[in-house]
Structure 1
């Protein structure tokens, strides 16, 4: 057992120390928590410590929630994975291919233009110099950033990570349900999982027990990320979760409590190859080892936010590592995985 292996726990602790880690590490094997550790401050000015119940932003980690929402609508017969964008959303995209489908959007293979292309743009903060982040309060507020752009490639031609695609998926959820995508997710996913501490919160109205995101400056000082990310999260990123709540999400997903077995299987299918050993399902990364699935995982990075969470099917292990600074979770996760693979 991980928690009984003192050397392993010490090694993970050393990694956290070397990373100057700020956040939570939670590992659960079947029904037992085998590792729980916290470090750093949720509020540095007030010296409030992070706890296992601290809420953290997870950036793109919540694309999985949007994908689950779409799968639920498919299960209800409201749309299909083959539905074309032009047939299920009343928004004009003058330069988009008419063959773009829900499947393409879910798998980052649509080819539509992105408002933040992570392969060619280095700094997420630069976006808000022209478009003030405090004006982006709804999904439609993002449309001017990509709506009239040109296709990058033909739908289905390749994998190219795309934030705008998930904005579009969220707009589909809103049109088909009459709810904001955040209200839909909180009601139909978070509540169903028992994720009572998680939600989509505005940066200027953060509730109790929520970590501020911190960005290090070149001179060794720090600042919060209040002016570095959209004021409220949505379909492509920005939810706040606690580590125990994220574990509840994995448990509900794999117990088919969020949707039936057929749609769950579709979400977890490796639809697109990203690179050797790495595939993408619907809103979820899938890593293979020796022709078998080693882990399903999600991750998210924003200024002042870093997050990794995974489910290891052969081990029955769930892992959640949220952090309120730019990095740290990846190396902590790798240290834990080295123990699993030893």
Structure 2
């Protein structure tokens, strides 16, 4: 288990509460599971180990894998510019924006939801019906005619719009819809049998509703998010499916070794110990690489899934509340 503090995590789980599922495993063996709360509070239906949860931006890594697969197939390179692979006009944008820039949040393009300027994703949909936001192209009018924020490669600036563009690239190059491509070439290949991009008005069984707690009381997030997820967020997974995903990625079932290494390369330093690769975060601890991980936060959604390199351990926490129990992650890593 390396330096992971499993006993500290057990104590923290007994001290704090949350709604969701936590799973800690190593090389196919379950080390710890904790299940709490309800997937449907009105009907008293509890969360279960196989409950599907929304994961918000946690699924940007699926988009990155899709792009990397097309690189593996020789259909793209990371230096391909968006003008070379998208038949759309972006008159105010730099001509040199590459897939690498989009994957690493360094493109400088405007964002439809700039997290430095807005803190409530739900506000986006007060004048735009969420039920109309079904495909990547539906998001383009929100940002495609805005000016550049900085020149490509100049700085790291987290950008949801960049991953919308990557989804459009997947569609253009593969000839499939983004969701169909990821289902067939990522979820199915990785053995993620319960995962998918589900419409919020047609959710399958064993799916958690997301809950928002505000001044009016607790409500579901049905009107707070686009009706169905896409390249920048919104897929549903189970904790066990995420374990399958990390196993498939690390053991080159999804990508060849060189492209896997490219995805997991720390291209951008974000804070003292945090870096960004292609759709994935990486963390150092005492000058050693501790983990690669993904995370997501939306109204009624919080998510964290990590692969710890040294111990080959996977931690996944899925919650259908907005507030993420980050103390669980700190307890495992720091005690």
Report the TM range for the smaller structure's normalisation: over 0.9
Distance in 2, matches of 1:44 and 1:234, equals: 27
Q: Is the 8 A contact 1:308 1:329 kept in 2?
A: no
Instruction: Please tell me the root mean square deviation across aligned C-alpha atoms, in Å.
Output: 1.5
Q: TM-score, normalised by structure 2?
A: 0.97
- Which of 86, 89, 100 in structure 1 is aligned with 2:86? 89
- Residue matched to 2:11: 11
- Residue matched to 1:281: 277
The answer to whether the aligner puts 1:187 opposite 2:177 as a matched pair is no
SS in 2 for 1:204: coil
Distance in 2, matches of 1:185 and 1:317, equals: 25
1:336 to partner: Cα distance: 2.0
Q: TM-score, normalised by structure 1?
A: 0.95
The answer to whether the aligner puts 1:244 opposite 2:227 as a matched pair is no
Q: Deviations over 1:95-115 (max 9, x none)?
A: 110010000000000000000
Which residues of structure 2 form unaligned runs of 5+?
Answer: none
Number of positions where the alignment pairs a residue of Structure 1 with one of Structure 2: 333
Q: Is the 8 A contact 2:6 2:332 kept in 1?
A: no
Q: Is the 8 A contact 2:21 2:47 kept in 1?
A: yes
Q: Is the 8 A contact 1:12 1:336 kept in 2?
A: no
Q: Deviations over 1:128-180 (max 9, x none)?
A: 01211111011111010001010000000000000000000000000001111
- Which of 143, 153, 171 in structure 1 is aligned with 2:168? 171
- Residue matched to 1:134: 131
Q: Is the 8 A contact 1:63 1:166 kept in 2?
A: yes
- Residue matched to 1:47: 44
Distance in 2, matches of 1:191 and 1:314, equals: 27
The answer to whether the aligner puts 1:338 opposite 2:334 as a matched pair is yes
SS in 2 for 1:295: strand
Equivalence map 1:1-342=2 (5 Å): 8=8, 10-17=10-17, 21-219=18-216, 221-339=217-335
Distance in 2, matches of 1:82 and 1:71, equals: 12
SS in 1 for 2:306: strand
1:9 to partner: Cα distance: 5.5
Which residues of structure 1 form unaligned runs of 5+?
Answer: none
Distance in 1, matches of 2:69 and 2:167, equals: 13
Q: Deviations over 1:247-272 (max 9, x none)?
A: 11001100011010000000000011
Distance in 2, matches of 1:63 and 1:109, equals: 15
Q: Is the 8 A contact 2:9 2:328 kept in 1?
A: no
Q: Which runs of 4+ in 1 moved over 6 A?
A: none
